[in-house]
Amino acid sequence: MNTSAIILLSIVWGLVTFFTIYFFIIILRAPKKPEPDSYTENDDEV
Amino acid sequence: MNKIKTLNLQKPEAWGSRVGLVLAMAGNAVGFGNFLRFPVQAMQNGGGAFIIPYLVSLVVLGLPLLLIEWSSGRFGGQFGHHSTPFIMYSLNKRRIWQYVGVFGIFSNIAIASYYCYIESWTMSYVYHSVVGTFGGMNQHQVAGFFDNYLDISTSSTGIPFEAVVFFVLCLALNTWILSKGLSGGVEKAAKIGVPLLIIFGIFLAIKGIFLRSGSQGAIWDGIEGLNFLWTPKYDSLANPKVWLAAAGQIFFTLSVGMGSIQCYASYLKEKEDIACNAMSAGFTNEFVEIVLGSSIIIPISVGYLGIDKVIELTNLGGLGLAFRTMPYLFQQLGVLLSAIAGMAFFGLLFFAGITSSLAMGTPVMGFLNDEFNWPRKRSALTFGIIVLLLGLPTVFFFQKGVFDEYDYWAGTVSLVVFAMLEAILFAWFFGLEKGWAEINRGADIKIPILFKYLLKYVTPVVLIAIFIGSLVTPKDDDWSRVSIKGWEVSNGSIIGQITHKGIGPNKKYFANTFYSETDGRVDSIYTLRNKILVRIIPDGKPEDFAINYEFTKHHKLLVSMGETVKTGDPVYSGKIINNIFYIDMSRILLVFVFAGISFMVFIAYRKRTHENRI
């Protein structure tokens, strides 16, 4: 591969991969909202 | 803590988990276009330089539209609306917005009806890859296999009407998953489908990037394909065609302008984050498109066919490359690897497809449930039946242009019109102050203030420009032709399509003579499965661009082998139904579907008024 292709590919792939992982980690680490929230996995017993 | 689920037959729809929602949204966005359209568009628009307008479009168009759709969906959901006619009406109490919202149901139904057909091809190709159908076939035979498949009267498995059977199977699977509801069906499918397609994608990307000339039958290094795709050609940045292509790609890849994002988001409560969810789903789609999408079909095809041949093949589109060429290339990997690679490639396309087609069913079900109180199973079955009825013409008359008509009007024009109007509604009618507060309510990230101005001024204006550009695209996409005195529009522009500009000499529905639609040479006259075909190779084009005109023994052939023909020269005579008939019938059908949904929205509004629910 030529240098300009390597530079462009590395920057774009790096940015996109970084943001994909960054936002997904925020979602995984975000505290759950108090009930009633939107997700059934947090539902209390009935 | 022990949890006991509430047993309630009419339990309201809800997402099971936040990760499930994001995967479902990402699955909605990731579709065939990520693997087939993006690399082809990049190849045709300057290689690496395409990525610059693409990323600019992502920021000024894609991300703002994601924020608009997620926030307006969640806003409408607070009033119990789960489809765009009434979600849009909740943003501004003018009834016209209900009918603008019809696009958000119409495009889902119409797109699903041909999208599920492509999905069924991928199902079928997974089967054929695993059982080794393509073993020992040369490139022409593999391409011929696809042509035979589309010709529904023939079967390679012994199952009569194989293409129809796979289409019905695929629709039945979609309907069954939809009938299980959001968390029990759509979300589960996304939790399985999205990770699997990423795993398959990584496997194939590694195969593509590390393909070496001299090994496994490769003639060039696969990385040469990446090199071509990522080498910037900055002169192409001055061409408006490249910018329009990049904006179009961003538009289609994120599945904006369809109404499915609003529907998914409408099941979120007011305090729930949408900003980070939207960014996460959007960037997951971008990862799949930019990193995986650029590393599969182009590097593998360049490795076996060389750059010049691949550039030539990309002019036939991504679908052609995937279904007519890739199975042949996989054969070069050896018996076992070819089966695995074929299964992985068509499997990833299948998962990309089904997670998108499920998103197309959800708004329709939401509308039927909200307005007519239909239970989930009945709504899912209704969606399946409508898509089957609307999809069968694309199956039976694929080669007559019906598929392309659906794709153009429902899958392209409707999306642009709807996105343009929703951006205007959100920024200028709902009001950006309210809109900005809506986007930031409950947000787990801080959206840069820049987006407020993009949402207000840039995104609506860019969308209006794209719409006008699509309306009057100049011939050959050459924008230097645009002049105050007027210019010739391209066949693919909206005006060109309405006026049947690209139809050529066969303009009558029913005729007694069929005329050549190209200048070229009669290359062969042959019989295939009880049909007689005359093959014409257009002047200056290679064999891959040959056009086959089909006729029967009841027609009289008027050309002979080797003869040179001009556009408009008679090819055969007899009773003929021209493609323009099928094209116009498709358009009428789509207009009826749109009108029918509008009527249902009208009835729903009256019902709501009567019940004092508006």
Stronger pLDDT, B469 or B154, i.e. the higher one: B469
pLDDT value at position B614? 78
Are B16 and A13 in contact (CB < 8 Å)?
no
Least confident range from B43-57, B249-263, B568-582: namely: B43-57
For the beta carbon of residue B90, count every other beta carbon within 10 angstroms. 20
Distance CA B519, CA B538 (A): 6
Side-chain-side CA neighbours of residue B151 (13 Å): 13
Q: What are the structure tokens assigned to B101, written together?
A: 């919202």
- Is 60 exceeded by the pLDDT of residue B565? yes
pTM of the shown model: 0.93
Contact by Cβ (8 Å): B251, B415:
yes
pLDDT value at position B404? 94
Spell out where B297-450 has E strands: none
Are B223 and A26 in contact (CB < 8 Å)?
no
Please, what is the average pLDDT of chain B?
A: 93
Distance to chain B for A11, nearest Cα, Å? 11
Q: What distances in angstroms separate CA B42 from CA B136, B236, B361, B532, one per listed residue?
A: 32, 11, 31, 38
* Chain A residues whose beta carbon lies within 8 Å of the beta carbon of residue B2: 45
- Is 50 exceeded by the pLDDT of residue B6? no
- Is 60 exceeded by the pLDDT of residue B3? no
- Is 60 exceeded by the pLDDT of residue B4? no
pLDDT value at position B436? 98
Are B5 and A36 in contact (CB < 8 Å)?
no
pLDDT value at position B9? 55
Stronger pLDDT, B546 or B391, i.e. the higher one: B391
Locate tokens 């039946």: which residue?
A: B385
pLDDT value at position B205? 97
Of A6, A23, A44, the CB nearest to B279: A23
Of A1, A13, A33, the CB nearest to B272: A33
Distance CA B2, CA B21 (A): 24
pLDDT value at position B147? 86
- The domain spans of chain A are 1-31
Q: If pLDDT is split at 50, 70 and 90, which confidence band does A1 have?
A: confident
Question: In sequence order, which ranges of B132-186 are alpha helices (DSSP H)?
Answer: 139-150, 162-179
Give chain B's domains with CATH numbers: 18-409 (1.10.4160), 510-577 (2.40.50.100)
pLDDT value at position B392? 96
Q: pLDDT digit string (tens) for B278-326?
A: 999 999 999 999 999 999 999 999 999 999 889 888 887 899 899 999 9
Distance to chain A for B245, nearest Cα, Å? 19
ipTM over 0.90: yes
Q: pLDDT digit string (tens) for B443-498?
A: 999 999 999 999 999 999 999 999 999 999 999 889 999 999 999 999 999 999 99
Among residues B133, B164, B131, B136, the alpha carbon closest in space to that of B150 is found at B164
- Is 80 exceeded by the pLDDT of residue B156? no
Does residue A2 belong to the interface with chain B, where contact is any CB pair within 8 Å? yes
**Residue pairs between chains A and B whose CB atoms are closer than 8 Å:** 108
- Is 70 exceeded by the pLDDT of residue B48? yes
DSSP state of B151: S
Q: Which chain A residue is nearest to residue B291, measuring alpha carbons? A: A13
* Chain A residues whose beta carbon lies within 8 Å of the beta carbon of residue B6: 43, 46
Does residue B396 belong to the interface with chain A, where contact is any CB pair within 8 Å? no
pLDDT value at position B8? 43
Q: Which of A11, A17, A40, A42 to mutate to test the interface with B (most CBs of B within 10 A)?
A: A40
Are A8 and B230 in contact (CB < 8 Å)?
yes
Question: In sequence order, which ranges of B231-334 are alpha helices (DSSP H)?
Answer: 240-253, 260-265, 275-286, 297-305, 307-314, 318-320, 326-331
Q: pLDDT digit string (tens) for B505-538?
A: 999 999 999 999 999 999 999 887 677 899 999 9
pLDDT value at position B5? 45
Residues of chain B with pLDDT > 90, as a percent, come to: 82
Among residues B581, B585, B593, B161, the alpha carbon closest in space to that of B396 is found at B161
Q: pLDDT digit string (tens) for B381-400?
A: 999 999 999 999 999 999 89
Q: If pLDDT is split at 50, 70 and 90, which confidence band does B353 have?
A: very high
pLDDT value at position B349? 98
Distance to chain B for A5, nearest Cα, Å? 4
- Is 70 exceeded by the pLDDT of residue B10? no
